[in-house]
Structure 1
């Protein structure tokens, strides 16, 4: 059984432990929401952990957000949580969708206990913007699929990604799901999003999930890419959080009122991302940094045009320092959270982090996680 901090159950079943990485956007933010554009996203080595085991009753344990133990049941095909909170919406939909997927396979549902812990945020509660919601959903989906492995349920990356994306759209109704892809597949990804309107139109009450997942999703492209050997990613935290939703709304408004400015941004972002992917394939560090800087320039202009503070004064300082050693930019929607930089070699990385720290920008000890969602054997796991 799991020692203190894991699943507490009288069940004789050994818990399964799943590890899922967080994410950082590297290039292509905002543009990736358009069908003709793409992004580069990377998984990072801070993780969400899910522990799952069959049990006498259904339990959901989420200590990170203050829910130590929630009972739940399936009543007339619908999932019912015995405690309600907006914080539970993603996981409520995850349980509903995964249960439907299992039942469609002709398998009888059995009670289980699912416990999720996250290290994506700081122990003090500071949020770094590493894709917590996506990683939690990917962890829960992977855990449930692995639980039914002996009954023939597959947990391939494609199935995990698509089920988690369905949960995302059922809960939120929009987004690129690039964070879902990073947490599922790991490493650096060249990513193009599926058609969001297409998936929303298909998500009816009587949808067959197995058939839906087997389809080609229009626009979806996920490919692992490998950076040049000496190209190093550095991450700095600016000390404040931001709302992705509010930033996206301002960009949407620009698209409506200044279509030419938005079109110019889109063109510049598309070219920068595709060129950066080419430089990765050529193992050209300097070329990759130039493409990265080009994407930053497009995002900076987008922020000015949309009157959206993509680059806060602190992020501008982070980028200014990074440009002495390589190149820096915002990551994700900007407006706070993390900024990133690419430099060549350990010396430049070390000097950059020292200067960031002296300017009250916290260098985060992050690296790219080559592995995505996976089952692990934790050191504190023992058998009865």
Structure 2
């Protein structure tokens, strides 16, 4: 009897607006899924087998007590996948589904050929890819919300923080307005060892995931600086600002929320001009944060990327900054072509990304 191979495709993401402020309760961000994908193949196998050939990790085996996973390799790159599998295992165990052995192959288009990260959310995408693969393998038909929640739980088991906006983009696809769930609530549920099934059936406090439609004439341009961002030190400095100079921090939060709200309204009203202005205003809020926290969110290359983008529309950093990608909003293809040419001349690589209309498949 032929073994069925299931194929899975999960998009990467780009943060558009609301970085840093989205970590505060009920503060919104805009995130978008992009057409670079993580791909997987999963099928029945005599024993559990995992391969990530681009990371040099092939034929990794593992044992399980039915929930927890013990890989044959101690490579730290496997942590997200291990927690994704164990989270899923806990979920199906609570539904009295018997676990089966399988092989899982994961490949990625989210990084460059040398392995450098573009900042397209590979950690989130690999979790969503693993969870989605397991649902397909077991013949279950989950909602996007269920994939998102299990992926967020696995992410928090690994990292313990973050907005999970990238998980939302990889799961749902398209343009999304997003507000993060209350992280302290989820961490407390996990600490109490609340059953996974009970956690995912609840309404998560403050969580908002809603697909939105961009203005018809809006073109998203993406440029890569060639430098990989070191996010953790920047987040540490931002957290220090939150405690040591709360007035300045709150000022940033309010300015960021105002810009994001205006951007969301421009999408609803199909107003490309206001969208361009709103992106610029969110960039100004991030500059304020950068100055207040004495953290280099805009590297020299990101600053150059933005200054060139402002000639044709507006630009800003994407995500935590400090490297990786910058983005721009422009109104027509000719402006986009001119901008890509200028970015190339400034040693900034245009990525020619487009919005992925679908999420995890």
- What TM-score bracket applies, with the shorter chain setting the length? over 0.9
The farther-off stretch of 232-241 and 242-251 is: 242-251
Q: SS state of the match for residue 178, structure 2?
A: strand
Q: Deviations over 1:124-167 (max 9, x none)?
A: 22211000000000000000011111xxx332101100000000
1:134 to 105, 120, 124: 124
C-alpha distance in structure 2 between counterparts of 1:109 and 1:309, whole Å: 47
C-alpha distance in structure 2 between counterparts of 1:107 and 1:304, whole Å: 53
The farther-off stretch of 94-103 and 278-287 is: 94-103
- Give matches, 1:219-298, under 5 Å: 219-298=206-285
Deviation at 1:68, TM superposition (A): 0.6
2:52 to 62, 73, 92: 62
C-alpha distance in structure 2 between counterparts of 1:64 and 1:32, whole Å: 32
Whether the 8 Å CA contact 1:146–1:155 is kept in 2: the answer is no
Structure 2 unmatched ranges of 5 or more: none
C-alpha distance in structure 2 between counterparts of 1:75 and 1:318, whole Å: 50
2:39 to 34, 39, 49: 49
2:342 is matched with which residue?
355
Q: What is the count of residue pairs matched by the alignment?
A: 361
1:81 to 60, 67, 71: 71
Q: Deviations over 1:330-363 (max 9, x none)?
A: 0000011100000001111111111111111111
Q: SS state of the match for residue 203, structure 1?
A: helix
Query: Structure 1's 76 and 339: CA in aligned 2 closer, same or farther, altered over 3 A?
Result: closer
1:212 is matched with which residue?
199
2:26 is matched with which residue?
36
C-alpha distance in structure 2 between counterparts of 1:78 and 1:356, whole Å: 47
The normalised TM-score by structure 1 is: 0.92
Query: Which structure 1 residue ranges, 4+ long, deviate > 3 Å from structure 2?
Result: none
Deviation at 1:283, TM superposition (A): 0.2
2:82 is matched with which residue?
92
CA RMSD of aligned residues (A): 1.1
Structure 1 unmatched ranges of 5 or more: 1-10, 375-384
Deviation at 1:75, TM superposition (A): 2.7
1:26 is matched with which residue?
16
C-alpha distance in structure 2 between counterparts of 1:80 and 1:91, whole Å: 11
